[in-house]
Amino acid sequence: MKQHRSIRKHNTQALADLFRKFMPASAVLTEKEDLRPFECDGLSAYHSLPLLAVLPETVEQIQQVLAICHENDVPVVARGAGTGLSGGALPNSQGVLLSLAKLNRILELDPVQRIARVEPGVRNLAISEAAAPFKLFYAPDPSSQIACSIGGNVAENSGGVHCLKYGLTVHNVQQIKVLTGKGDMLTLGGSGLDSPGLDLLALMTGSEGMLGIIVEITVRLLPLPEKTEVILAAFEDIAKAGEAVGNIIAAGIIPAGLEMMDNPAIRAAEAFAHAGYPQEAAAILLCELDGDEIDVQQQRQRVEAVLSQSGAGEIRVARDSEEKQLFWKGRKAAFPAVGRLSPDYYCMDGTIPRKRLAEVLTRIGELSDEFGLAVANVFHAGDGNLHPLILYDANIEGELARAEAFGGKVLELCVEAGGTITGEHGVGMEKLDQMCVQFTPLELEYFHAIKHAFDAKELLNPGKVIPTLHRCAEFGAMHVHHGQLPHPELERF
């Protein structure tokens, strides 16, 4: 590797020539027009072009890319399907964008052990589709599951509408293979449900590409439930809907999914999906129960009773599988459907204790009035994971800054309520300032120490997730930068 020492990280052509020695020329992109598809993820307020992008097809090619970049101090940002919502896959303008899209094979599906061994570019939904003939499924199901990749799910520790009962990605992954910044291979986890030593598998899950590059994942598969029921409950008061969530859990019932939408989200989703939602309701709950026939029937009766006692004005049980799919289609289409309400929206992600749900929703409404920006609420109510969608128009001067300041206040509200600044979208670049609110300087120092232990040169996804103590000191002094954008170094759309 000594021949690489003379390569400067700014010498794009020299770097590209090295990569083309072991990858096809078409897999190494250097022209601006070719790099544009990688300039942002689902958080589209900012964009940045990398020096170049590579699209390897094998693990060995990825190892060579990492070895060259490590030798020449070139930053590397891994990218899956680009559906992330915190700027985690935003390219580094002085680095390489490493796309894992071509590593998209299901390597093994074992119905006896109930596992699937897959490459990181495999779509989330494709795993359940492949497992369906064996009456198995993969439980975590983000709203973007038709497009998002399993590698990105592991990097962000994604959830989904069924995470209340079946857990997040971290609870459904058994083993991963990951490359260090030098290109060395580590195998974390094992063939059993537990393995000796430090739980590095859990540490790597949700690490947002900062500690290593995941190149293989073994996920757990679960039996398809014998019976499912989906209940829709409408409320005239959003606070009562929030209280109903806590009442269902307090009754000892753990639904497969328990989702909530407020009126703006209901109207947008109904116009898009025609799911039959009651459009005059202040809020609706979608409650899915699954299990064997007798258990589901008993739980359904108990849930209906709790909903009625909690003030539901209408309770409707899906008549058949088609209506069940319609109910969920509306919920899963809510994010794009809200685009009907505003030219732009800012999607937040924070988690609170369920008992504080009604209180926090009320406060979000007050913040909406304070900032002069409407908000639509769509979230995983069962585990307190909020997704307020702040509506704004980027063409109006100052509205993006107000939306970000509003979003920051929502995250700080979550921390004040005893929650956290993210439930599944990650920190990325979006929530760096709020990391300063949630964690002490000493805790952040330990985060940096862990990063340094895995990536001593700090070349993997640099500048993301963990703020510097200097940044936290500035944030404490200026507080949301007096309404200025937190990342002035980045271009805006």
The string of DSSP codes covering 422-434 is -SSS--TTTTHHH
| Residue 89 CB-density burial (10 A; 0-12 exposed, 13-18 middle, 19+ buried) | buried
Which pLDDT score, from 0 to 100, does residue 476 have?
80
Strand, helix or coil at 181? coil
What is the pLDDT at residue 479? 53
Q: Which residues fall within 8 angstroms of residue 310, CB to CB, at 6 or more apart?
A: 240, 243, 244, 247
Of 163, 133, 1, 123, nearest in space to 69 by CA: 1
Instruction: Check residue 379 and give its pLDDT.
Output: 87
Instruction: For residue 90, give both structure tokens.
Output: 């935003």
The CATH classification of domain 2-99, taken from the options 3.40.50.1000, 3.40.190.10, 3.30.43.10, 3.40.50.300 = 3.30.43.10
From-to residues of CATH 3.30.465.10 in the chain: 106-223
Give residues with Cβ within 8 angstroms of 361, minimum separation 6: 238, 239, 242, 262, 377
d(CA 89, CA 80): 8
Residue 167 to residue 492: CA distance in whole angstroms: 36
3-state class of 351 per DSSP?
strand
What tens-digit pLDDT sequence spans the chain (493 residues)? 334 444 444 589 999 999 999 999 999 999 999 999 999 998 777 899 999 999 999 999 999 999 999 999 999 999 999 999 999 999 999 999 999 999 999 999 999 999 999 999 999 999 999 999 999 999 999 989 999 999 999 999 999 989 999 999 999 999 999 999 999 999 999 988 788 889 999 999 999 999 999 999 999 999 999 999 999 999 999 989 999 999 999 999 999 999 999 999 999 999 999 999 999 999 999 999 999 999 999 999 999 999 999 999 999 999 999 999 999 999 988 988 998 899 999 999 999 998 898 899 889 999 999 999 999 999 899 999 999 999 999 999 999 999 999 999 999 999 999 999 999 999 999 999 999 999 999 999 999 999 999 999 999 999 999 999 999 998 886 554 333 444 444 454 4
Please give the radius of gyration of the chain, using alpha carbons only, rounded to the nearest integer.
23
Distance (Å, rounded) from C-alpha 408 to C-alpha 37?
28
Phi first, then psi: give them for residue 260, nearest 5 degrees: -135, 145
Kindly tell me the burial class for residue 276, based on how many C-beta atoms sit within 10 Å of its own C-beta (0-12, 13-18, 19 or more).
middle
Question: CA torsion sign, 413 to 255 to 223 to 195?
Answer: positive
Alpha helices in 343-428 (DSSP H): 357-371, 399-416
Looking at domain 342-492, its CATH architecture is: 2-Layer Sandwich (3.30)
Q: Which two tokens stand for residue 57?
A: 């097809």
Q: Which backbone phi and psi does 45 adopt, to 5 degrees?
A: -70, -25
pTM for the complete prediction?
0.92
Percent helix, strand, coil in the chain, to 5, is 40, 20, 40
**Domain span(s) for CATH 3.30.70.2740 in the chain:** 342-492
Please give the torsion angle defined by the CA atoms of residues 329, 335, 337 and 342, in that order, rounded to the nearest 10 degrees.
Answer: 170
Res 29: pLDDT: 98
- The highest-level CATH class for domain 106-223 is alpha beta
CA distance 218 to 63: 20
- The C-alpha angle 285, 286, 291, rounded to 5 degrees, equals 135
Burial bucket for residue 477 (CB in 10 Å: 0-12, 13-18, 19+): exposed
Could you give the 3-state DSSP secondary structure of residue 6? Answer: coil
Q: Which helix (DSSP H) or strand (DSSP E) does residue 61 occupy?
A: helix 59-71
Q: Beta-carbon neighbour count of residue 462 at 10 Å?
A: 17
What CA–CA distance (Å, rounded) separates 81 from 121?
7
- The half-sphere exposure of 259 on its side-chain side, counting CA atoms within 13 A, is 30
Tokens coding 251? 């009754």
Domain boundaries for CATH 3.30.43.10 within the chain: 2-99
Tell me if 32 sits within 8 A of 77, measured CB to CB. Answer: no
Within 10 angstroms of residue 182's Cβ, the number of other Cβ atoms is: 15
Query: Closest by alpha carbon to 258, among 276, 269, 275, 246?
Result: 246
Tell whether domain 227-337 is in CATH 3.30.70.2190.
Answer: yes
